[in-house]
Amino acid sequence: MDVRDSNGTLLADGDNVTLIKDLKVKGSSTTLKRGTLIKGIRLTDDPDEIDCRHEKVKGLVLRTEFVRKA
């Protein structure tokens, strides 16, 4: 299964990604700003979603259309 970011670059487990859009986190008052670096992503069974951690939000799932490989 190929997982690609918004630019079409192939993603793998452990890659670092950068957000390309401000994102509001559901269930929290936190907003992740554009340009935020997310380190050490994990791929899921869905090619459109990645699992990651951020210091403000644990157990974060992001859509690949909002990230690009750092």
In this predicted structure, what is the pLDDT of residue 4?
Answer: 95
Predicted confidence (pLDDT) per residue in 31-57, tens digit = 999 999 999 999 999 999 999 999 888
Within 13 A of 61's CA, how many CA atoms are on the CB side? Answer: 9
Task: Judge whether residue 9 has pLDDT over 90.
Answer: yes
Q: In whole angstroms, give the CA distance from residue 31 to residue 1.
A: 30
In this predicted structure, what is the pLDDT of residue 28?
Answer: 86
In this predicted structure, what is the pLDDT of residue 42?
Answer: 96
Task: Judge whether residue 58 has pLDDT over 90.
Answer: no
Q: What pTM value is reported for the model? A: 0.88
Residue 39 to residues 14, 21, 27, 46, Cα–Cα distance (Å): 7, 17, 22, 19
What are the φ and ψ backbone dihedral angles of 63, each rounded to 5 degrees?
-80, 140
Q: Which domains does the chain have, with CATH numbers?
A: 17-69 (2.30.30.40)
